[in-house]
Amino acid sequence: MYLYLNSNGNYDRFWDSVYAGVKEAVPITILLFVIGMFSALIKETNILAGFVWLADLLGVDGGLFTAFTFLAVCVIATATGSSLGTMFTCFPIFYPAGILLGSDPAILAGAIASASIFGDNLAPISDTTIISAGTQEFTKKQGFADIGGCVATRLKYSLVAGVISFVLFWIFGGGGTVGAGAADILGKNMNPTTLIMLVPVAVMLMVAIKTRNIYKAITIGIVLGTITALAFNRLTFEHVISVADGAPAGFLTGGISSMMATVSWSFPFTVSWVY
């Protein structure tokens, strides 16, 4: 290895390639950290409680509750960019309530799982979307695909599949036995004011698709989301950034911490891929 690097200019080319790889990886790393902040913001404001309130208000049950759960989980997964995180959040609330409301157990579980993956695939703030965009080249021009462009391209296919899935979950998602206790589960986990957090999520998605600039979109999302959460008492300043027991706290630092594992995996991958 030493002889190879020190012959025929290989040493210089090696370090040039390493530098190019690091230079390519740093923007992705920063983007993942910022996206972690936005995802932590949405989770901290508990947007799920708004959909639980809406389901209770509409009085949906059986197959319609399964279809509604699919729609709600799609939105939550798109807002957070995390399929597993969405499943862990939504299963404990929607699943037991749905079973008591007469939803089919297997189909309801499928609705939650598929919606979580649907949102993760479509979300511009998903780490899988970001990393996959960096490996796709344009067919008619030079360069790699932008994240907003990937989302815009997927959107028309995803929406068709989502509408078909919603109808099928509505048709086949019922048939279970109606039991007592669903109202108690829903009542303990609902809050209509959390739906206001859909505004910064929608703005972030529209900016990402229209401008195809994920940095601008996520910055607007974080700023608008923080202002909205503070204005409607969904968060306090201590939830944004603070110090607890001598350590940084709040969704800003929590979002960075949540992305450390992803960054540690994606950074060497990006460097080696460029090299």
Residue 249 has phi, psi (to 5 degrees) of: -140, 175
How many Cα atoms are found within 13 Å in the side-chain-facing hemisphere of 91?
14
Q: Are 186 and 56 in contact (CB under 8 A)?
A: yes
**Which H helix or E strand runs over 37?**
helix 10-44
Q: Which residue has the tokens 């598929």?
A: 114
Q: What is the spatial distance between Cα 45 and Cα 184, in angstroms, rounded to a whole number?
A: 21
- Which of these, 99, 64, 73, 108, lies nearest to 182 by C-alpha position? 99
pLDDT at 6: 53
pLDDT at 114: 93
pLDDT at 163: 93
pLDDT at 16: 59
Q: What is the spatial distance between Cα 34 and Cα 195, in angstroms, rounded to a whole number?
A: 23
- Using the 8-state DSSP alphabet, how is residue 178 labeled? B
pLDDT at 71: 92
- Using the 8-state DSSP alphabet, how is residue 26 labeled? H
**The pTM of the whole model exceeds 0.75:** no
Q: What is the pLDDT of residues 19-57, one digit of tens each?
A: 555 445 555 677 677 777 888 888 888 888 888 888 888
pLDDT at 138: 63
pLDDT at 101: 86
The residue ranges of every structural domain in the chain are 24-274
Q: Are 97 and 203 in contact (CB under 8 A)?
A: no
Q: Output the tens digit of pLDDT for each of the chain's 275 residues.
A: 444 445 555 656 655 555 555 445 555 677 677 777 888 888 888 888 888 888 888 888 888 999 999 999 988 888 887 787 888 888 888 888 888 888 899 999 999 999 998 887 777 777 677 767 666 666 666 656 667 777 777 788 888 999 999 999 999 988 766 666 777 777 788 888 888 988 988 898 888 778 777 788 888 988 999 999 999 988 888 888 887 777 778 888 877 777 676 656 555 545 444 44
pLDDT at 228: 92
pLDDT at 245: 75
Helix ranges (H only) for 45-133 are: 48-58, 62-80, 83-100, 105-122, 127-133
**Which H helix or E strand runs over 248?**
strand 247-249
Q: What is the spatial distance between Cα 145 and Cα 45, in angstroms, rounded to a whole number?
A: 32
Read off the amino acid at residue 207.
V
